[in-house]
Structure 1
Amino acid sequence: MQGVFITGSGSFLPGAPVDNREMESRIGFLGEHSRKLKALTLRQNGIRQRHYALDAEGNPLFTNAQMAARAVEAACDAARRDPAQLQYLACGTTQADFLVPGIASAVHGELAHTPMEISSHQSVCGSSMMAIKSAWLNVHAGQHRIAAVSGSEFSSRWFQPGFYRAIDFSLMNTQQAMQYEFLRWTLSDGAGALVMEAEPNPQRPSLKIDWIEQKSFADRFPTCMFAGTRDNSPEDAKPWAHYESPGAAYEQGAIVLRQDFDLLDQMFPVWMGYFLEVLDKHQLSPRDIRYFLPHYSARALGERMKTLLTRSAAMIPEERWRNHQQEVGNVGSASIFLLIDRLLREEKLERGDRILCFVPESGRCLASFMSLTAV
């Protein structure tokens, strides 16, 4: 088995940053409740600006795959590699541009350099680590020597008012409406990518991948963040394709994206328990971690994470946390790539620095961890 090193990273954030005052010019309001719930959500998530792949008239500027391809090209440039040298491509996203084929086929088509092996991963935030682990294992096993991996999102197209015309918000209280509104005022667009190789880059700092741990707890939870059904109870979770037509699924509210906050609240102890399990398995002390890159959907949830870690005596000193969600928004599966890219660009890494990445996903409760060492 050979070592695996992150030798390059890249980000692609579409368009100019959109501040909180401009948001409705891109995704609009759903009704009278929207302005109030926008303000409430922004207080919770702490986001000040984000990027959208839609212009002010709602026209798409890019596809999901195009953003991912640009991030891969940026990562290749940082690694001093031509994209034609890639032998393996793994891509993760929440929703690709098409129902069929997978996101990796579309990204490979955008790169259009050379035939290669590909792998598509579809989940929510956790699809990032699924794709990363796929590329890591392929290089680790000696199947390939140079791989690229991306995470990308085009969430804003889901949030156009036309998607919600079948939903009667006038019959809902604030809590019920929030399951739709929170995601609209939190998620944003963009892509990030990494290049992995069997040798470190001799000209710039590289990150050795020590291990990746990922576990699903879907056996304990129904879906929490979901689209493609109008209900997340196991008895009533009828898939959109089981309606008589896509139009019928839309008319009955089975297309829109939503979040079950009661379930989300129940997931935190599970994630933190798994955190402790991973630390124990790898005999890793919080004191050993020089940089902690956690992905969380809102500042309020990050604060809860800190509280639970402190109670468990597993709190990593706060000055070692790195998260820039307030500047770029919650970019889902792209978020951990953006965090790693910023770390490599802005921090003065020293040989031996340990970096711990943490990606929880509320889709149906899973969590991922990745340990990196600067070389």
Structure 2
Amino acid sequence: MRDVYINAAGAHLPGEAVGNDRMAAILGEIDDQSQRLGRLILRQNRIEQRYYAMNYRGEALDTNAGMAAKAARAAVDTSELDLSDIDYLATGTTQGDLLVPGHASAVHGALGTGPLEIASFQSVCASSMMAAKSAWMALKCGEAEAALVTGSEMSSRWFRPGFYRPALDRLGNRDTRMAAEFLRWTLSDGGGALVMQPRPRRRGPSFRVDWIKLVSLADRFDVCMHAGIAHEDRHEPVRCWSHNEAGPQGAAADGAIMLMQDMMLLKRIIRGWVGEYLALIDRGAIVPGDVDHVLCHYSAHSLREEIIKLMTAAGAMIDEEKWFTNLYTKGNTGSAAFFIMLEEFMARGGYRPGEKILCVVPESGRAVISFMMLTVEEA
């Protein structure tokens, strides 16, 4: 089995940076309660700016696949390859531009490369790591020679007032309203990409992928982040939007089209994530003292604080000075966030050959946690 390396990364953030004071002007205003909750949520997530593939008239400036393709081209441009060298494409996203066909087909079409193998992964944040693992395995066993991996989101389209107004009567309960508003004031748009190969770069640093672990805890937790089912019906999966007798309009009136986040359940799920981290320590896969850098995706600063509190209580904390994030300046871009973070980390430098980089991508959808260990290698 061959070693596999991340040899380049790319990112695409659409438009101009949007500060907190301009969010409502782009997403659209729902009502005064939405504005009040938005200010509370922004204090919790501490995101200062983000990017939207949408203008002030609510018009789309790009597509999910388009942003993935732009990030992919940026990654290839900084690699030692041409697009024609890529023979494997794996994509991750929460929801592609179309219900059918898969997102990887759309990204391949936007790239315009020749025939290649594709794989689509649809989940939430961890879909990026699912895509990365598929590429890692294909390269490791000799099924591919050069892989592109993308994560991309166009979350802003979920947050226009029209997605909420048909079901405003269902948002009278404050917990339900918070579940509907949290992601509206937290998620944003963008694309990220990696180039992976079974050999390091000839010039400059590469990151060897030592291992990737991904665990679903869906057997232990209900749906936490969701769209396609009314919030109060999320314990009954048979009640999905497509089963509504009144069609899509009826599903919208039931609140099934809104993107929701159960904050109380999320706090319980965090304990499950930390439990999987501790299990990897017990197995010797992670030695906290040997980790030189931590790239951990999290949706809000308040959740970072909760994770650190639990790791510290367990005696397994990695020095916080080793943690890197760009959440506060690039926003939470879901499945794209980790790749956008890694791209900035690679470009900044400050790492040395032999150093270990622990990458952590949790997902609240239905409790997924993923880890990747990298080792810095210099050509």
TM-score (norm 1): 0.98
The 1:234/1:170 distance shift into structure 2, 3 A limit, reads closer
Alignment of 1:158-307 (within 5 A): 158-168=158-168, 172-231=172-231, 232-235=233-236, 238-244=239-245, 245-307=247-309
Cα deviation code 1:89-147 (max 9, x no counterpart): 00000010000011100000011121000000000001011000000000001101100
CA distance in 2, matches of 1:145, 1:160: 42
Q: After superposition, where does 1:111-122 map in structure 2 within 5 Å?
A: 111-122=111-122
Are the structure 2 counterparts of residues 174 and 209 from structure 1 closer, same or farther at C-alpha, using a change threshold of 3 Å?
same
Q: 1:261 deviation in Å?
A: 1.2
CA distance in 2, matches of 1:260, 1:368: 20
Query: Between the two proteins, what is the percent identity of the paired residues?
Result: 47
Q: Aligned letter for 1:179?
A: A
**Mapped partners of 1:306, 1:74: distance in 2:** 33
Q: Aligned to 2:166, what secondary structure does the other structure show?
A: coil
**Structure 1 residue 171: deviation in Å?**
5.9
Q: Which residue in 2 is equivalent to 1:97?
A: 97
* Matching residue's letter, 1:2: R
1:133 and 1:170, CA in 2 relative to 1: closer, same or farther beyond 3 A? closer
Q: Which moved more, 1:244-253 or 1:156-165?
A: 244-253
Change in 2 beyond 3 A, CA 1:218/1:53: same
Q: CA contact under 8 A between 2:170 and 2:254: conserved in structure 1?
A: no
Q: Distance in 1 between matches of 2:222 and 2:67?
A: 31
- Distance in structure 2 (CA, Å) of the matches to 1:243 and 1:233: 14
The separation in 2 between residues aligned to 1:323 and 1:348, in whole angstroms, is 14
> By how many angstroms is 1:176 displaced?
2.6
Q: CA–CA distance in 2 between the matches of 1:364 and 1:226?
A: 8
Distance in 2 (CA, whole Å) between partners of 1:137 and 1:128 is 14
Q: CA deviation at 1:80?
A: 2.4
In the TM superposition, structure 1's runs of 4+ consecutive aligned residues that sit over 3 Å from their partners are none
Contact 1:230 1:237 in 2 (8 A): no
Does the aligned pair in 1 maintain the 2:45–2:299 contact within 8 Å? yes
* 3-state secondary structure, aligned to 1:11: strand
- 2: CA distance, partners of 1:233 / 1:99: 21
CA-CA distance at 1:282 after TM superposition? 3.3
Match for residue 315 of structure 1?
317
Structure 1 residues 258 and 237: alpha-carbon distance in aligned structure 2, compared to 1, 3 A threshold: farther
* Contact 1:68-1:193 at 8 Å conserved across structures: yes
Work out the CA distance in 1 between the residues paired with 2:286 and 2:105.
38
Residue 365 of structure 1 aligns with an amino acid whose one-letter code is: A
Instruction: Report how far residue 173 of structure 1 moved.
Output: 4.0
Q: Which stretch has the larger CA shift, 358-367 or 160-169? A: 160-169
**Are 2:150 and 2:192, in contact at CA under 8 Å, matched by a contact in 1?**
yes
- 1:58: Cα distance to partner? 1.0
The alpha carbon displacement at 1:251 in A equals: 2.2
Cα separation, 1, equivalents of 2:352 and 2:7: 15
Instruction: After superposition, give the CA deviation of every residue in 1:15-63 in whole Å (9 maximum; x if it has no partner).
Output: 1100000101111222120111111000000000000000111111100
The residue number in structure 1 matching 2:110 is: 110
Gaps of 5+ in 1: none
RMSD value, Cα: 1.2
Question: 2:337 is matched with which residue: 331, 335, 338?
Answer: 335
SS across alignment from 1:183: coil
Aligned counterparts of 1:320 and 1:333: Cα–Cα separation in 2: 23
Q: Is the 8 A contact 1:169 1:177 kept in 2?
A: no
Structure 2 matches for 1:32-43, cutoff 5 A? 32-43=32-43
Task: Tell me the SS of whatever aligns to 2:373.
Answer: strand
**Residue of structure 1 in register with 2:17 after alignment:** 17
- Distance change >3 Å, CA 140–CA 169, structure 1 → 2: same
Q: SS at 1:166's partner residue?
A: helix
The 1-side partners of 2:173 and 2:48 are apart by: 27
Count residues with an aligned counterpart: 375
1:306 is paired with a residue whose SS is helix
Whole-angstrom distance in 1 between the partners of 2:171 and 2:103:
38
CA distance in 2, matches of 1:201, 1:171: 53
Distance (Å, rounded) in 2 between the aligned partners of 1:22 and 1:228: 28
Q: How many angstroms apart in 1 are the aligned matches of 2:66 and 2:288?
A: 38
Greater Cα offset, 355-364 or 30-39: 30-39
Relative to structure 2, which stretch is displaced further, 140-149 or 252-261? 252-261
**Is this contact kept in 1: 2:228–2:240, CA < 8 A?**
yes
Residue 280 (structure 1) shift: 2.4
For 2:171 and 2:143, the matched residues in 1 are separated by: 56
